[in-house]
Amino acid sequence: MCLDAYLVSTIVEQRLDEARAEAERQRLIAELKMPFNVTVGHALIRLGHRLANGVPARVQPSLG
């Protein structure tokens, strides 16, 4: 067996292992779900931003 072919196959195996590990990590991250209280908190924050953007800001008179 040629040494070059052996080195190439070793490098390919290592890169495939790294790619599989990264794919598994990404799959686990995608499966994570936020807790209910975090989801409700984010919804309330979005609602607050929408309500605040719909109300015109008060303009304070100049003191000068």
Question: How far from 21 is each of 17, 32, 40, 42, 51, CA to CA, in Å?
Answer: 6, 17, 33, 31, 44
- Can you give the residue range of the structural domain that contains 12? 3-49
The pLDDT score that the predictor gives to residue 14 is: 97
Q: For residue 59, is it within any domain?
A: no
pTM over 0.75: no
Q: For residue 15, is it within any domain?
A: yes
Please list the pLDDT of the chain residue by residue as tens digits (64 residues): 577 989 999 999 999 999 999 999 999 888 887 788 888 998 999 998 888 887 555 555 555 5
Q: For residue 32, is it within any domain?
A: yes
The total domain count for the chain is 1
Q: For residue 62, is it within any domain?
A: no
Which residue in the block uniquely carries the two structure tokens 């990264």? 22
Whole-angstrom distance, CA of residue 57 vs CA of residue 10: 65
Q: For residue 41, is it within any domain?
A: yes
Q: For residue 16, is it within any domain?
A: yes
